[in-house]
Amino acid sequence: MNLGEIVTTISRRLGDPAILKADIVTEVNKKLLLIAGQVRMPPLIKANEAITVNAGDTSVSMPSDYHHDLLAVWDNTNGGEPTIRLNRSSLYKSYNRSETSSRVNEVAVEGSVLWVRPKVSQNVELLVDYYRMPQTLTNDSDIPEGIPPDLHHDLLVCGPLAELLPDSPDDYPVKERRKSYNIDRFANGIGMLKNVYPHAPRMRVVLRRRVREF
């Protein structure tokens, strides 16, 4: 289904002219972003995107389309693959923050920021692989990325429908049944989509080992 078909189907199911096309499109794109955050879809992997850590810095913003899962990092200035840590706290645990180097040894991503150690003494270009955000659907001919056509209805019709059903005090039980039905269909669609990509790459972090003394 393209965006136009999705919107037409939702609008027909709603039967409420007060709900505008723009409102439906907004909800469809919200659900598309949510789906891309819950299911790792290899078609959304972006590879070898360049970002630069400036001299004297310990962080850099990830690319604007970064969504989740830092899959790989390559130090393109010096060569070598920095170790990916679980989070910023793990990255800087038991670390001398005054240390500097010309290369990046370890990284961790939090939110949309990539933290590095040690502090770099020169500009360092990093190449990063990650899951990007799906393209926003704007034109009627736009096709959702990464989602097989047979799952479009459950995910991008039923999902938005559950949020858009109009309030009607007189038909509250009916609305709740319809909402519950669409929520169930959406959840079923998420499960089926995960089955489509059972071996999708995921972020693999290296945990610090604890040294025990006996």
pLDDT of residue 167: 66
pLDDT of residue 3: 98
pLDDT of residue 170: 59
Kindly report, residue by residue over 146-167, the tens digit of the pLDDT. Answer: 999 999 999 999 999 999 987 6
Spans of the chain, pLDDT less than 70:
167-172, 208-214
pLDDT of residue 212: 46
pLDDT of residue 209: 58
CA distance 85 to 207: 6
Cβ 82 vs Cβ 106: under 8 Å: yes
**Which pTM value belongs to this model?**
0.90
pLDDT of residue 210: 52
Cβ 122 vs Cβ 104: under 8 Å: no
pLDDT of residue 152: 98
Nearest to 75 by CA among 48, 99, 39, 108: 48
Kindly report, residue by residue over 29-54, the tens digit of the pLDDT. Answer: 999 999 999 999 999 999 999 999 99
pLDDT of residue 176: 85
Q: Which residue type sits at 178?
A: R
Going by the DSSP 8-state scheme, the letter that residue 155 receives in this structure is I
Going by the DSSP 8-state scheme, the letter that residue 137 receives in this structure is P
pLDDT of residue 99: 87
Query: What is the torsional sign of CA 189, 34, 44, 78?
Result: negative
DSSP run (H or E) holding 126: strand 124-132
Place of tokens 């970064």: 66
pLDDT of residue 214: 39
CA distance 148 to 61: 32
**Residue 152 DSSP SS3:** helix
Integer CA distances (angstroms), 21 to 16, 137, 147, in order: 11, 13, 22
CA distance 171 to 53: 57
Nearest to 58 by CA among 111, 128, 106, 130: 106
To the nearest 10°, report the CA torsion of 132, 70, 89, 206: 160
pLDDT of residue 211: 43
pLDDT of residue 104: 96
Residues constituting the chain: 214
**Residue 12 DSSP SS3:** helix
pLDDT of residue 67: 98
